[in-house]
Structure 1
């Protein structure tokens, strides 16, 4: 006998005394789910939008890395065309200054947080 269920002893009962669970009763899962209302969802969205601003130093660093990558590609093109080292350095420097003056408009447009679309 387990937890007050079953026979005291299986002797003389014609069974081995094994107690099984009743699978006929299927209990429903929790019926009352706490779903968020539209007002709560909009409040969460508003809080997430104003949570944190991006680090300007990191965004500036990424912009500079993209500029240097373009300068390296331009330098390789000039080397393949057979320009002298001084001419390459001068042209790459002018190209870099042009890109730096261009600002944040490199390849892709970015949203208000600096992430590409």
Structure 2
């Protein structure tokens, strides 16, 4: 790319790139024609993981109660009775659980996905968008007219 030797050329031999060179533009359209690839797909939460997290949260509270009662010296039958009552109560509360999306942490991916789906559904209903609406269908109709 440069001179084999800068001797006698009156230069230092340093080679610069041509910054004024314009690269040829792409001949493809500025947007892809395949809308299916560009279509956003909502990540579906795993129901089993969500259920497991709920049950784990309940069991943590039950274990805390059991630990506190054992420290107080309550007999085993009374502990079993109170923990089973608390477990039933907490499981009943968690059946129709509406979690606060702002309280979720970034590592709670499935809970965040569920909250996002619920938020999208609320927005769709508020804007009165039909359930069978397909994203990008307006552009296809416009393309057919041309």
TM-score w.r.t. the length of structure 1 is 0.57
> 1:48 aligned to 36, 41, 47, which one?
41
Q: Give 1:63's aligned residue.
A: 54
Shift of 1:26: 3.8
State the alpha-carbon separation in 1 of the partners of residues 72 and 97 from structure 2. Answer: 25
Q: Is the 8 A contact 1:63 1:104 kept in 2?
A: no
Q: RMSD across aligned C-alpha pairs, in angstroms?
A: 4.1
- Which residue among 111, 121, 141 is the counterpart of 1:115? 111
Change in 2 beyond 3 A, CA 1:9/1:72: closer
Structure-to-structure mapping, 1:69-108, within 5 angstroms:
69-104=60-95, 108=99
Question: Runs of 4 or more off by more than 6 Å in structure 1?
Answer: none
Higher helix share: 2
Contact 2:5–2:13 under 8 Å retained in 1: no
The structure with more radius of gyration: 1
How many aligned residue pairs are there? 100
The 1:60/1:106 distance shift into structure 2, 3 A limit, reads same
Unaligned runs of 5+ in 1: none
CA apart distance, 1:95: 0.7
Distance change (3 Å), C-alpha of 1:9 and 1:82: closer
How much has 1:60 moved relative to structure 2? 0.7
